[in-house]
Amino acid sequence: MKVLTVVGARPQFVKAAVVSRELRRKRNDHEEVLVHTGQHYDEELSEVFFEELSIPRPDYNLGVGSKSHGKQTAEMLAGLETKIEDENPDVVLVYGDTNSTLAAAIAASKMEPPLAHVEAGMRSGSDIPEETNRVLTDHGGDLLLAPSPDALDNLEREGITEGVHFTGDVGYDALLWARERADESVLSDVGIAAEEFVLATVHRDTNTDDPERLEAILSALADDPRRVVLPAHPRTVDCLEAFGLYELAERELTLTDPVGYRQFVALLDSAAVVTTDSGGVQKEAFFLDTPCVTFREETEWVETVESGWNTLVGADGEAIRRAMRDATKPDEKPAPYGDGNAAERIVEVLANATGI
């Protein structure tokens, strides 16, 4: 079976790593062609991940870079159409909710190979671009690989019942792999001790591009008596500087450069609480038993909220302060995302569906 895998952003590198390892473990039966769209083009957000996660170097890098949604998706679509035509894969495999995923979905829908979508069925109920990408990809997909029972329900509500498979969440596979290899040297590098700090990430444009929301989040973080460690995404730094908030952040928080995945897992595992607007971090915190406070009004990972491990606060400063102060570990935790063997199930589904 020949699989053409499309990745473009940091979370996808993490998810793709475990499936790539499974495909290549059975290299006598399967071949993977890895295409990197270049959506994340910063070295610290891209190339370093291929090294750290033991992902083979991409066979192709489209080098699209940062552009408006329309221009970025269009350039990816043109490049991916050519690669699919040249490689003639048995299946095109995409992950998550990015423009890279949507572009690959459109390209595959116009051509022969079936489209398989990892994280199919995830819905937040919002009108963010990521939600549009998810819905369009699922409705154009052939194999919908759902990570949770809730995702299965969402697909069924939208009338999608064929080609649907519950596989569990590849993020759990990746987290288990990384936890065994977590780079705890980052704690001493930053000068922090376990359970004595708050970890923060802010990168969604709904927060970073709105000066009022960004200032509200920043002020709430600054008011927490514990050290707040913020590995700063490049777009976040740009926005802090543009809105005159960088000096406040530098003075009140512990700003660091972006960290590698194994370092981030060490920070997340050791934090008293994590505050974030990332979908992936909400889920990783859940896996690691770290209470989470989310700077969004909705989430795809509803199980984390329903079980009490995650609190949605938007950019309401007082709600952020209260949630950070009150964050505790619930006595129980469900297991809706499978058993850490999603990659194996995904490869099995792909092989069965292609008859190879």
Dump the DSSP string for 241-290.
Answer: HHTT-HHHHHHHSEEE----HHHHHHHHHH-SEEEES-HHHHHHHHHTT-
CA distance 119 to 263: 24
C-beta atoms surrounding 183 within 10 Å? 18
CA distance 94 to 157: 22
User: Which class for 176: exposed (0-12), middle (13-18), buried (19 or more C-beta within 10 A)?
Assistant: middle
% of the chain surpassing 90 pLDDT: 79
Given the residues 30, 117, 203, 233, the one annotated as active site: 203
Give the pLDDT of residue 63.
83
Give the pLDDT of residue 51.
75
Residue segments in the chain with a per-residue pLDDT below the cut of 50: 45
Give the pLDDT of residue 316.
98
Residue that has been written with the tokens 């009490």 in this structure:
308
- Shortest CA distance to 147 belongs to which of 133, 134, 130? 134
The tokens describing 181, both together, are 């290899």
CA distance 147 to 282: 15
Give the pLDDT of residue 49.
65
Give the pLDDT of residue 47.
61
User: 233 an active-site residue?
Assistant: no
